[in-house]
Structure formats: C-alpha cells, structure tokens
C-alpha cells in the first residue's frame, strides 16, 4: 500500500512515497521556491536525482506535479492507490498527543495554534488543503512534532510564571523534534532488545533538542513553548535569562519582532563565532585558530553535556544515549567533546568507532558505564508508519461498522 509523507514549509514541500508495511522508499523529492521566481523541484528515483525548473504558483501546483510524477514513473497507476498521506505539523499544542486524521475540526485546531508556530502551522495547512484537493479519497493525517512530548508531567512542562498564562495563553513547554526522538528511541530499544529502558536522545542539528525517555514515554525535553529553548543551536540562543530580552529591547530600542529575529537568526553558533551557524564552518574556524569559533563550540557542547547530566539524574540512571540529526550523526568532534565531558559518569568513548559519519553504530567502549550510539533519524518513515497504522485502524473500524459489530 502506498503512503506519502509530506513536509510543507512556507515556500517548500518535501515528500517521500513508501510502500507499506515493507517501508520501501519508492520515490522522494523536494519542491523549492514555491510562489517565488525561479522555482524548481528535484526528484530522487532509482538512485538518480533529477532537477526540473517549473513555475510553482502555490502548494497545490506542487502537489499536482508530485502526483503527475508518481503516475509518470509508474509508482501508482491510479490516484486511488494512494491510500493515505501523512503531513508533518510542527505545533499540535495541548490538543494532539498522537497522529490524527485531518478532519475539518482538527484543521481548525491546527489553525488556532498558528500564533504559536507562525512560520510552520500555516504552511502545513496549505499543504493539507492542496493534498485534499488533488487526492480527495486518501486519508490525510497530521503527525505532530509536539505529540511525543505530551506525556511530560506538569511540573516539567509548566514555567514558573503566573499560572493563568498557561490556562489563558497556552504558555507551557511543548517540545519539538518529537517524531525524531520517538523514531530513534524505538530503534534504540530494538537494538537493546527490550522496552523497559531509560534513554537520553540527542537530536543535534541546526535546531537541537534532547529528550529523556522512560519505557518509550517522554518525561522531559529541552525545547519549550517554541523551538528556541534549551540548547544553544546554529543561530538560536536557547535558554537565556529572560531579562536579557527586555533589557536589550530597551538598549536597542527594538520591537518584539526584531528581538525574536535576533534570538532566532543571529544568535547561537553564529552569534558567538561571528562566522557561521553551520558546525562544519565552526570546526574549520577552530582548525585555523579562530578563538571565537573555539568559544562557540565550547559553549555549544557545554549545554549538551549539562542537559544529558540533568536527564541522567531525572531518569535515575540511563541505559543508552543516542546521537542523531546533522551534527549528532556527522560531527566526530562534537560527539567526542560531549562524551569526554561526561567522563565523570563513567562514559568512555571508543575513538576508532566514533570516527564515522551517518551510520548506526555503538561509539563507546565495552567498559563504558552507559553505551552511546549514533542512530540516523528518519522522520519521514515515522510519519509513514504512524499514518499507515491510523489507516489500518480506520479500515478495521469501517469493517466492524459494516458488519454491524459496533
Ligand atoms: P540538520 O538540521 O539535522 O539538517 O543538521 C544540519 C547541520 O548538520 C548543519 O548545519 C551542519 O552544522 C551539521 N553537519 C552536517 N554534516 C556535518 C559534518 N560532516 N560535520 C559536522 N557537522 C555537520
């Protein structure tokens, strides 16, 4: 059965088509510069990558082309073969603790949450509407970045601010990257061969977050109301003293919006190094002796170490630590610094094993107190899995209704 995974951004749309339940990727691609000049898309099929320049007026046009490509490349012969489409949605707020069908009522809730994710939720709604128009008979699901973190208890998700802020304005920790944390935690448990585990999963990419997971359920995570909380990131500051914001707004005489841009786009590795938000550039800067790059990297790893140590205590021990995403999977240097910084916990890096990129691997020695792994993330597959499961349960429900069992 064909399931599409879709990730719509404000001017982009990424997709992968899976044959489920075998989980084979049949075709994947990205539409870029939607609604802008010089729009184009790339398709990956049978190990080949093709780029086509075409006018993409809106997301619906991108979706129409996506479907044409599926038909032309004989991924499907008829549209009816696409049974379900899973959409990544960044902010599910307090409403969604699991993947849900995108009914009109649920779409309204996603729209209502747009003020908490102004760049992401409106784009997802546009993507879902486009998919509904082009493939009306498919089940459309929303897979939320925040859903996995809904098991966090109130003492961890509330901020120590006036209580009504949460009740009236929905101000609380939601956490993000949930689909990725869930995927690598599931895979880690498969490797360990048991599910009653305590795991710390580190999704370290341009955006970065850490989660503490007990028996498959998230008990804490580093991101908050928005993805600019917790760790220092490529260009985001993460946790800082809240008064820095109001003080600097007065000093710079800037608006809330301008301050938001500074804290999201001009801070983190970029803000400290003055060079780049990309960890590869920071590593290159360190190699040529740039002290600000060295400082940025030290601050970056310091915060990862602190969060892992905090979650070790909160979990009451830990069965495995996982590194994933761009930096977690690829930066030998960052992993080494983090694991060296955790030596007090008895963690011992295996330098030879750590010298790798993008592969699933144990990177600590046999006598390390906690085994640490690299597990490449696969959010698209997780979206397809969840969507397939929801499709199956809906079909089962229909069958029971038809047979008048319920
Ligand atoms: P992501 O947001 O998960 O796509 O991760 C993107 C980040 O991964 C980039 O900004 C880079 O900083 C980092 N990255 C990718 N490849 C490498 C590498 N070979 N070495 C260090 N960092 C890398």
Q: pLDDT per residue over 238-257, tens digit each?
A: 999 999 999 999 999 999 99
What pLDDT is attached to residue 115? 85
What pLDDT is attached to residue 402? 86
Cα 236 to averaged position of ligand 1 atoms, centre (Å): 15
Hey, whose CA ends up nearest to atom 10 of ligand 1? 278
Cα 382 to averaged position of ligand 1 atoms, centre (Å): 21
pLDDT tier, 263 (very low <50, low <70, confident <90, very high otherwise): very high
Domain ranges of the chain: 2-144, 193-375
Same fold, 2-144 and 193-375: yes
What pLDDT is attached to residue 10? 77
Query: Chain-wide mean pLDDT for the chain?
Result: 96
Is residue 343 classed as helix, strand or coil in its secondary structure?
A: helix
Ligand 1 in contact with 330 (CB < 6 A)? yes
Do β-strands 100-101 and 139-144 pair in parallel, antiparallel, or remain unpaired? antiparallel
Query: Which of 301, 330, 332, 355 gets mutated to test ligand 1 (max ligand atoms within 8 A of its CB)?
Result: 330
Ligand 1 in contact with 377 (CB < 6 A)? no
Q: Give the C-alpha separation, 181 to 362, whole Å.
A: 18
CATH superfamily, with its number, for domain 2-144: ATPase, nucleotide binding domain (3.30.420.40)
Cα 333 to averaged position of ligand 1 atoms, centre (Å): 12
**Per-residue model confidence as pLDDT tens digits over 78-106:** 988 999 999 999 999 999 999 999 999 99
Q: In what order do the strands lie in the sheet with 320-324?
A: 217-221, 208-214, 198-204, 320-324, 372-374, 361-362
Helix extents (H) in 316-378? 325-330, 332-341, 351-354
Phi, psi (5° rounding) for residue 117? -145, 65
Q: Give the C-alpha separation, 286 to 301, whole Å.
A: 14
**Per-residue DSSP letter, 349:** B
Percentage of residues of the chain with pLDDT beyond 90: 92
**Per-residue model confidence as pLDDT tens digits over 344-360:** 999 999 999 999 999 99
Among 19-28, 108-117, 397-406, the range scoring the smallest mean pLDDT is 397-406
What pLDDT is attached to residue 405? 75
Phi, psi (5° rounding) for residue 144? -95, 135
Q: Give the C-alpha separation, 354 to 376, whole Å.
A: 14
Catalytic residues: 145
pLDDT tier, 187 (very low <50, low <70, confident <90, very high otherwise): very high
Ligand 1 in contact with 280 (CB < 6 A)? yes
**Per-residue model confidence as pLDDT tens digits over 112-123:** 999 888 878 998
Ligand 1 in contact with 206 (CB < 6 A)? yes
Ligand 1 in contact with 327 (CB < 6 A)? yes
Cα dist. 25→55, 80, 104, 186, 191 in Å? 27, 19, 30, 20, 22
Cα 269 to averaged position of ligand 1 atoms, centre (Å): 12
Q: Give the C-alpha separation, 378 to 181, whole Å.
A: 10
Q: Give the C-alpha separation, 385 to 391, whole Å.
A: 10
Which residue bears the tokens 């909380």? 229
Ligand 1 in contact with 326 (CB < 6 A)? yes
Cα 205 to averaged position of ligand 1 atoms, centre (Å): 6
Q: Give the C-alpha separation, 115 to 121, whole Å.
A: 9
DSSP E strands, 194-241: 198-204, 208-214, 217-221
Please check whether the domain covering 193-375 is classified as CATH 3.90.1150.10: no
pLDDT tier, 9 (very low <50, low <70, confident <90, very high otherwise): confident
Hey, whose CA ends up nearest to atom 21 of ligand 1? 331
The reported pTM is: 0.94
């Amino acid at each position: 059965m064909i399931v599409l995974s879709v990730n719509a951004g404000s001017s982009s749309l990424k997709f992968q088509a899976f044959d489920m339940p075998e989980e084979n990727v049949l075709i994947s691609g990205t539409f870029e510069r939607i609604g802008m000049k010089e729009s184009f898309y790339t398709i990956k099929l049978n190990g080949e990558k093709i780029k086509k320049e075409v006018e993409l007026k809106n997301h619906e046009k991108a979706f129409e082309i996506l479907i044409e490509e599926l038909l032309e490349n004989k991924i499907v012969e008829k549209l009816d073969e696409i049974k379900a489409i899973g959409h990544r949605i960044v902010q599910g707020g307090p409403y969604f603790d699991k993947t849900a069908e995108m009914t009109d009522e649920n779409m309204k809730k996603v729209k209502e949450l747009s003020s908490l994710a102004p760049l992401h939720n409106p784009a997802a709604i546009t993507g879902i509407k486009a998919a509904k128009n082009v493939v009306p008979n498919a089940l459309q699901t929303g897979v939320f970045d925040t859903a996995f973190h809904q098991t966090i208890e109130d003492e961890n998700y509330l901020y120590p601010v006036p209580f009504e802020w949460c009740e009236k304005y929905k101000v609380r920790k939601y956490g993000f990257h949930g689909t990725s944390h869930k995927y690598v935690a599931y895979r880690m448990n498969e490797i360990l061969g048991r599910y009653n585990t305590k795991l710390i999963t580190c999704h370290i990419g341009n955006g970065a977050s850490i989660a503490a997971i007990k028996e498959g359920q998230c008990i804490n995570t580093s991101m908050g109301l928005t993805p600019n909380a917790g760790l220092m990131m490529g260009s985001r500051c993460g946790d800082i003293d809240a008064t820095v914001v109001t003080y600097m707004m007065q000093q710079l005489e800037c608006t809330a919006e301008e301050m938001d841009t500074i804290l999201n786009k001009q801070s983190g590795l970029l803000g400290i190094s003055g060079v780049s938000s990309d960890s590869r550039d920071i590593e290159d800067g360190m190699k040529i002796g740039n002290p600000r790059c060295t400082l940025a990297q030290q601050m970056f790893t310091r915060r990862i170490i602190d969060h892992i140590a905090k979650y070790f205590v909160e979990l009451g021990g830990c069965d495995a630590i996982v590194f994933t995403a761009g930096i977690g999977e690829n930066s030998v240097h960052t992993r080494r610094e983090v694991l060296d910084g955790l030596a007090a916990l008895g963690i011992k890096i295996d330098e030879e094993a750590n010298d790798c990129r993008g592969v699933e691997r144990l990177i600590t020695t046999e006598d390390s107190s906690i085994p640490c792994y690299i597990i490449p993330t696969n959010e698209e597959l997780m979206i397809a899995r969840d969507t397939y499961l929801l499709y199956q349960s809906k079909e089962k429900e229909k069958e029971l209704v038809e047979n008048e069992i319920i």
